[in-house]
Structure formats: structure tokens, C-alpha cells
Chain A
């Protein structure tokens, strides 16, 4: 599942995880108040976001879903 959740109740909106993500997976929500998982398919499981979160609001699962290969897509 790669990055699984950012707990909105805990998230302070500091944006540390947004900067931490080398793959641009996490963004701030439209109001700029909370971090949200925007592109989970590009998560490379580096765990930087989880380690950098000051309030431990992020969970990254070690498993990653593999997308089936299509004829074209």
C-alpha cells in the first residue's frame, strides 16, 4: 500500500512531509491546512515523511501494490 495514511486529527499542517517527499506524493490540501496523500502510486517507501513528521501522524506500509500491466494505458 506504500504511504497509507496521514492522520488529519494529528496533522498540524507544518508541511515537513511535503518537503521530505522526493517523489512529490504528498501535498497540502486546498486550504493549505493539512497534508494529504495525492499521488500514492509514486511512493517509493523511503519513509522520509514518516520519520520527519513531528507528531507521528504518518504511516507507511512496507507493501506496495503492483499495477497490472495493460496493453496500453
Chain B
């Protein structure tokens, strides 16, 4: 098969067109550069930004918000593995990014013409037990996007500013020459045309990876950015923190226009295992903020033979019920529909523990940034949004609108960082031989006459990632077994994947990327010999502060994934003179 080849010369190439990618593109464009923004979907209608029609953190000191309270709240949720410098930046720049969006025409939920601000008081969320001792009265606030209107507005604004937008481009590999990234190669998934980008700086904003585990509407999240950056020599982090959740019944409910009888909101009411903080945040935004701790707990219960499981609404505190009432009252019918059943009747609600999906790593896990402008260890390469490992969320997704705020803040910084880098450079022409080699790699699935289908390779990867007993409830023997298979898949199956048309070519590359990030997640999960946040080790059920107040970094070494520790600065450690139970009021099974 032969398709035509397009060559595009640009100052800044941004890969991924969600919140982070659009911010990066617009900010780089505002510095007067030529900017190209590409995505494998149609920008404005794809990616997690579009799907996560959720909320945006709203930090405003004039509303009585105390930065230390908010920092502590996020650190407790992230079980102290948060990079607090990044949390602070996300808080302080929240206003600027919101103002940007307002000026760009991104609509926010304004019933009666007035901006609606969600309030969260720790005493309502059942979190006062952990926050209360140090920050009584800490209040969290966020604002709502208008469903599915934010991403189209960002697209429009990027076009208005003169960003060159290319839809349906599957970017496969970065071009690296003389130690720096000088562009990327991809193809158009409809026409099959090959696209060779020559850029002075490149920003990856492709989100995370979720193994097409069905049920969570993030099948486009296949770790493309993390995988191509890793292959180009970048360091990756936060891979052991895999969230799980369940929401298939919600889609069924949307379909039938009836409230869901069962949802992850229900699951999070499992007072039995609220060991990952923020249960009620999940209740609020079922498809977005599923930290999933309760789901791992549920998987454990089924594992132990205690199915069927019930959520015990009688065990909810008055504060928690107050929260629900506030939510339903403020959101009207939508709130009731999302609630799915009458909370106020209380009693027990059954949920299907078999319906579990493996979600991506927490926001702020991915490609490791070396500075506060999101430059990676590879010159010319920047990362933003859910593709970058600021580790702002630590060991567990913060929820509450932190994710989209993080995407806007890091996108903006990465765009400006990439622009500054590009301004100092002349464009580098790629070496013909090198280019031919990368092209050959990229086109391999399409040119291969026989081999494995992308659909089959995807299924094979799912067998070592999706079941609860691998990346949900983890144990050394199973992780080792899965890792052996992941290495086999990467060495023997991925190189033989084939595609009969450009659509399958995308699926083939996605399957290859998923296989690689599966190996990363298994490697990191095996390496961290403790439990923390959304990482639960059956064989190490406790947090081990002296050993593991550290991040796990992964980097290619001699053709293999090597794991090593990056210690957390001592100033961010919890007070180790406090009793363990005070540092970690949430228990893992087996503790």
C-alpha cells in the first residue's frame, strides 16, 4: 500500500487536542510562533476533556480559601506523594486559567445567569476525620462546565488564534536526532497519508492509558504519548497508581433514559472500605471522579468469597447525607438522575462487583518533567495534562475538578516552555537515513502481509491488565507472571501486528502502545513493595513511609524497563512521630 507523504514544518508541534493540548497550542501561538495541533480524533469532540464535562477547581483567597488547607487536603488524598510545588502552582494559577477560558468563550454552568459554585466542606464529605485535626473548616470549591461545550470552545479559539489544526492524525513516533526531539511521524487515519512533522519543540498532551477496558469511555486513552516518549528516551513515573472503577450501568441508564439502579456512586458508599479518600466526590461525578478505592475493596470482598455485596446506606453519617441533599437540591433533576435511587430511604443496595474497569493512572502521572515548564529529560520534548508526571495528585486522583485545572495549568506552562525553547532555535532538518528508518517502523503494520490483528493483540494485552487480580488487587507472584507475559508480548507479538487499512493501522499502534504501558505499570507495581493510594499490594498491605516516600521512575536501559526511586523531599513528609493510624486513617484490607 502506498499513500502520499506530507511534510509539515512548524515551530511548536502539540500532540493531543484536549484541555492541555489546546492550552499549550494557544499559549505558544500567543508568543507569535507557528503552531500545529494534532489529534487522532476530531479536536473538540474527542479525548477525556470532552468526555469529562465535569468541573474546574476554583481557588480564590478572597472567598476565604486558605492555601495551606487546600494543599493539605490534596496531600492527604494523595497520601503524601504529591509534589506540593506543583499543587501550589495549580492552586495559584487556577484563577488565570479560568479567566483565560472565560475570555475564550468557554461556557460555565450559570443557572439564573450567576456562576454556580460547588462547595465541599470536609465535614460533609466524611473527611473531617483526617483534615479536621489540622485544618478545621477547610472548604473546597469548584465550578461546572456546561456539558460537552468546553472542548468545542477551545477548538474554536485555537483556530481563531491561527493554530494549524489537523484532525485524525495518529502520531506514532517522535523523531530524535543528536539527542533532541526534532519532530514526529504519524498518519491520517482516513486517507492513510503519512505526516512528517519537523518542529523546534514538541508538546505531548495525549492523556493517559486505560487498556480499552470498555465501560469507561476512554478507549482512545492508549498511552500513546507515554509510549512514544519512553521510546525516545524520556523517563516515566506514577505508573503503579492505577485507578479502577465501574460505570457500565450508568451508560445503560443513559440509554434507557432511566436512572441507574447501580453505579459507582453506590459502590463508593461501601463504608466498609473507604480506604481511598474522597468517596463522596466519586458520588458526585460518577463518570469522572472514580478514585476507585472502594471498588478495589469490593474486588477484595468478592475475592474472599463474600459476594453479593451491598452498600450500607444506614452507615452513612448525617454529614454525608447533608452533602447528598445539597447536591440533589442544587442540581435538580440531573442530581436525582445521577443519584440513581432514593438515598433518603437508606437501607442496603446491591452492586455488581464484576463490572469493574481498569482506569488510567492518576492525573499528574506520565512523562517526568525536569523543570516547572514541563521540559522532559529529552531536549525539545515537553509534556502536559494527564501525560505528564507532575505527581501533583500523589498516589490517588484528587478529584474535585483538580484534573482539568491541572491540564489547563500544565498545558499553559508547557506551551510557553516549548515556545521559549523554539524561539532560541533554528529548525533542524532531519537526516534522511534516520527518517527512513523511523518511517519504516511506523509503516510496518500496514506493509506486513501477515501477522496478528490489532483486535487480537488488544485482547491479549487486556488479559494481563484488566482482571481485578493483576493491577487492582496486586501480589508479587501474579505481577511477575503478568510481567513475564507483557515482556513476551512486547518482544514477540507487538512487532508482528498488522493492519489492512489506515483505521486498523491506528488500532495496531494503540495495541502496541498499550502493551508497552502494561509492562510499565506491572514493573512499577512490582517495584513498590507497599500499599498507598490507588496502589494496593495484598502482600504489603501497609504504607511504608521510611522506605516509600518516593516516586518510582521508569527509563529504558539496555532494551529493558528499569525502575528506580526518586525520594520525596523531606519537607513534604508527614510527621512520622504521629501514629500510623493518624497519618493514614483509611485502612487497606489486611491491615
Contacts and interface: CB of A to CB of B under 8 A. Distances in A.
B46 A62 contact: no
A42 B42 contact: no
A41 B455 contact: yes
Contacts of B41: 21-22, 24
B102 to A, nearest CB: 25
A48 B45 CA distance: 9
A27 B459 contact: no
Interface of A: 18-24, 27, 38-39, 41-42, 44-48, 52, 60-62, 64, 67, 69-70, 72-73
B51 A46 contact: yes
Contacts of B503: 24, 38-39, 42
Contact of B456 (A19, A23, A52, A73): A73
B68 interface: no
Contacts of B42: 18-20
Interface stretch (B133-141, B179-187, B213-221): B213-221
A23 B168 CA distance: 10
B459 A69 contact: yes
B256 A22 contact: no
B256 A42 contact: no
Q: Chain B: interface residue count, which band? A: 20 to 34
Given A19-B45, A20-B45, A67-B455, A27 B190 contact: yes
B452 A42 contact: no
A69 B46 CA distance: 29
Contact of B220 (A22, A47, A52): A22
Contact of B217 (A27, A46, A61): A46
A9 to B, nearest CB: 23
Interface in B143-175: 148, 167-168
A50 B44 CA distance: 17
Given A22-B45, A41-B455, A62-B255, 8 more contacts: A24-B41, A24-B190, A24-B506, A42-B503, A42-B507, A45-B251, A60-B255, A69-B463
Q: Choose among A22, A46, A60, A72 the residue with the greatest number of B CB atoms under 10 Å from its CB.
A: A22
B252 interface: yes
Interface string B507-549: 1000000000000000000000000000000000000000000
Nearest to B255: A62
B456 A72 contact: yes
Contacts of A38: 503
18 contacts: A19-B167, A20-B45, A21-B41, A22-B50, A22-B220, A27-B190, A44-B212, A44-B214, A45-B217, A45-B251, A46-B51, A47-B254, A48-B45, A61-B255, A67-B459, A73-B452, A73-B455, A73-B456
Contacts of B452: 72-73
A20 B49 CA distance: 14
Contacts of B190: 24, 27
B47 interface: yes
A22 B46 CA distance: 5
Interface in B204-231: 212, 214, 217, 219-220
A44 B217 CA distance: 6
Nearest to A23: B219
A72 B349 CA distance: 42
Contacts of B455: 41, 67, 73
B547 to A, nearest CB: 39
Given A69-B463, A73-B456, A22 B254 contact: no
Q: Choose among A38, A60, A73 the residue with the greatest number of B CB atoms under 10 Å from its CB.
A: A73
A73 B453 contact: yes
Interface in B457-509: 459, 463, 503, 506-507
A44 B214 CA distance: 6
B189 interface: yes
Contacts of A52: 45
Interface in B293-328: none
Contacts of A72: 452, 456
